[in-house]
Amino acid sequence: MTTQLDRPRSGVSRRAVLAGMGAGVGLLAAPAIVRAQAESIRIGFPVPLTGPYGAEAKDQVKSAELAVKLMNDKGGIAGRKIELLVRDDKLNAGEAATRTLELIEKDKVHAVVGSLSSAVQLAVNEVTRARGVIYVSISQSDTINEAKDFSKYTFHEALNPHMTTAAVARATFKKGAKIAFLVADYAYGHEMLRGFKRAAAEIGAEVVGEILHPIGAADYSTLMPRIRSMKPDILAICNFGRDQANAIKQANDFGMKKQMQIIVPVLLYNQRIAVAPEVFEGVIGGANYYWELENTVPTAKAFNAAYKAAYGTVPTDYGAYGFTGVSALLLGMEKAGSTDTDKVIDALQSLKYDVAKGPQWFRACDHQSVQSVLVLKSRAKSEMKGDADVFEIIANEAPSEQMLRTCAELGFPT
């Protein structure tokens, strides 16, 4: 059963992108500014500082600034300092296109890293592809890996929905299990739903229903009785940020956790911290990073130490994308010995890097970062050894191109 409470709000709206690029024309007409550090390497960083993903975006900025600081402390790249130019894309595709065009045409950035929405990153992808500028995406998306949206200039640092949903499903689904879905009605939610349904089919689990909700919804109370009537063994909540916290809190209020296992494609540290431990207790989800990796991964220990020294706390999962994404780009520039676009692309395509979570590399056909995938379980309050001890790592799948959809499946020639 599918219920659509609202029509799709996003997907990548080419109209929005073109509107943003049109607005950017005005920027081109503005008087040129004199940059005090013309010799610096400038990295544009559009993220949604305002809106429901604001907490994650601000963490990404902190981690990106740390990556820049560490490189500058080593002397920069070929003697050139790095400068991070942060812009608020307001979680809007048109706004993101305008800010990205501004960064390229007015601020003359050498590359762009950022965006925190699958729809918005596709808008940024279109602008950077049209302008021939390198873009490192740090938000989950399946479509950005597909041939129709592929750009030779774009590298996808974030995990994609296929990777996280498959890992979470392998840890929770069983043959014959009944699965219900609560899904944010936009590109991210749709991609997560597709990933979980694919995994369910492979494992032999049964999909008993799906309900879509608009992004930014505050009230899920009318949906919980309908989900309960489906009698699922597992409820997969496919949304993000405050939506995730609100949905899980209201599922908890309705006593759903006593009747079914709640899973999410991405389990967020910030959202867990924002509510009482009892709300998230037992919830299982995927993640790109959790600070306890420091127990087994030396670079995670070094990243945590540098982050704590700078900000006095542990880095978060989506925040870590800011560090790994910017670090990968800077390592590519360092390897290329230049900011020349073609040379940096060549360097990134052959780069092997380990900056915070173990080995990573970009697959040749789609530029997806191959990396480990964590599956986490939210701890009960009685199990926590401190305020930051919120999750247990129940699986850590090693990086392998086998965890990705094949290049042929994505539409690339074989």
This prediction's pTM: 0.87
- The DSSP letter of residue 368 is B
- Name residue 255's amino acid: G
pLDDT band at 292 (very low <50, low <70, confident <90, very high): very high
DSSP for 229-273?
A: HT--SEEEEE--HHHHHHHHHHHHHTTGGGTSEEEEEE--HHHHH
pLDDT of residue 245: 87
d(CA 385, CA 57): 27
Nearest partner of 116 among 317, 258, 314, judged by Cα: 317
Least confident of 115-124, 314-323, 363-372, 399-408: 115-124
pLDDT digits (tens, 9 = 90+) for 265-275: 999 999 899 88
pLDDT, position 414: 78
308-334 average pLDDT score: 97
Q: Which of 31, 93, 15, 63 is nearest to 300 (CA)?
A: 63
Residue 119: predicted pLDDT: 82
Cβ atoms of residues 298 and 273 within 8 Å: no
Question: Is residue 17 scored above 50 in pLDDT?
Answer: no
* Each residue's pLDDT tens digit, 336-392: 999 999 999 999 999 999 999 999 999 999 999 999 999 999 999 999 999 999 999
Band the pLDDT of 29: cuts 50, 70, 90. Answer: very low
Element containing residue 114 per DSSP (H, E): strand 111-114
136 - beta bridge partners?
113, 155
Angle between helices 341-349 and 317-336 (to 10 degrees): 120
Band (pLDDT 50/70/90 cuts) for residue 52 is confident
Amino acid occupying residue 38: A
Q: Is the pLDDT of residue 4 over 90?
A: no
Query: What pLDDT does residue 188 have?
Result: 83
* Average of per-residue pLDDT across 211-235: 94
Judged against a pLDDT cut of 90, whether residue 130 lies above it is answered with yes
Least confident segment among 17-21, 47-51, 221-225, 231-235: 17-21
Query: Which pLDDT does position 206 carry in this prediction?
Result: 98
Kindly report the backbone phi and psi dihedral angles of residue 183, in degrees, each rounded to the nearest multiple of 5, phi listed first.
-130, 130
